[in-house]
Amino acid sequence: MIRIDRLGPADLPAALRIQSAAYPPFLLEDDRAFLSRIDLSVSLCLAARRGGELLGYLLAHGWPHGSPAAVGTVLANDQPSEVLFIHDLAMASSGRGAGIGRSLVMRAFALAAEDGLRRAELIAVEGAAEYWRRLGFVEEAVAGELQAKLHAYGKLARWMTREIPAS
């Protein structure tokens, strides 16, 4: 049985192993950046577990609209929560293909709706845009500062958004 609950600091070693297997080196974040997302006041970071094994995680949090942080940025609690920003979704090989990612995202949407957030934003990396389209996200055109930030996430990065259903 798979259980979804809050991702916490004790999950960091397993989460970093999953991250390193899922992403190229230029997208990897250190423990300080990772933990800063868990520690935000509007943190909706979630874990999927089977027994004692972390199968996957979602780093998501309240954040200002249209302003993703650069890879590796240590976040502070002084930002307004205007949208749900989905920063990272990754699965261990033992968790792939079971719909866990969808379950994590839907649970984050429910929690975000309880917090009054009505829009989700993300940067799809490494060809993941099609996955996010299946979850209802649409690609939006970007320009200026947002375009520069997006470029730092790689050539395949796409800015995507969707509305969060009311709970």
Per-residue model confidence as pLDDT tens digits over 95-153: 898 999 999 999 999 999 999 999 999 999 999 999 999 999 999 999 999 999 999 99
Average pLDDT for 77-87: 94
Which residue type is seen at 90?
Answer: A
Q: What's the CA gap between 74 and 71, in Å, rounded?
A: 9
Is 40 strand, coil or helix?
Answer: coil
Summarize pLDDT for 19-56 with one digit per residue, the tens: 999 999 999 999 999 999 999 999 999 999 999 899 99
Instruction: Please give the pLDDT value at position 30.
Output: 96
pLDDT on residue 166: 83
What are phi and psi for residue 162, nearest 5 degrees? -165, 160
What pLDDT, on a 0 to 100 scale, did the predictor assign at position 78? 87
DSSP-derived 3-state class of residue 49: strand
Task: Classify domain 2-163 at the CATH superfamily level.
Answer: Gcn5-related N-acetyltransferase (GNAT) (3.40.630.30)
Handedness of CA 118, 84, 110, 102 (dihedral sign): positive
Token pair of 166 as six digits: 């009311």
- For residue 42, the 8-state DSSP code is T
